[in-house]
Amino acid sequence: MEPHELKKRLDEKKAKSAANAAQERARLDAQVAERKAKAEEGRAALKDVVIPYFKELQKTFGKDLTFDPSAQMDLSDMSPVAVSFKFGDGAVHVIEVSSGNVRIYWTDPATIKVPAGPKRGKPPFQIVRQFVFPGTAEPFIATPADLTREKLSKLVDMAIQGN
């Protein structure tokens, strides 16, 4: 093969590699943009639906309902990514949005065990058992679009009934 033909082959290979790299970069950029959009959708659902609904409930229930609108915060912009609520001394229920998904779980305070203090230099420990509401079971909340007043009221009713 002539040198100019070999050079042409090398240039073609370089061009193909550059095109593949650009395509992969574009795919990764699209994934990042989609994740950001889903995360924003979750934050908006918390801000626009969940928090106002629970503030309304708080006015109605008074001291019987404890609501934390900032149970977990996104450190990059200090926006809430999880809220929690509980009735009386019952279980703490958490509604958390992450990457376009909603995770709902509760922790029964009766299952928390903390020893009196450290023994032999060991730090105290805490065992917390969490019970997760899967999106495929009542109250059927899996995505931010599922965070409606109707489904939240079902969740609250389940919390009142003791799950």
pLDDT at 15: 93
pLDDT in tens, 91-140: 899 999 988 889 999 987 655 555 555 555 555 555 566 778 888 888 89
Give how far the C-alpha of residue 135 lies from the chain's centroid of Cα atoms, to the nearest Å: 13
Q: Tell me the pLDDT of the chain averaged across its residues.
A: 86
Domain ranges for the chain: 3-161
State the amino acid at position 130 in one-letter form.
Q
Q: CA nearest 128: which of 114, 147, 140? A: 114
The answer to whether the CB of 107 falls within 8 A of the CB of 91 is: yes
Continuous H helices in the chain: 3-45, 51-61, 149-161
The answer to whether the CB of 65 falls within 8 A of the CB of 107 is: no
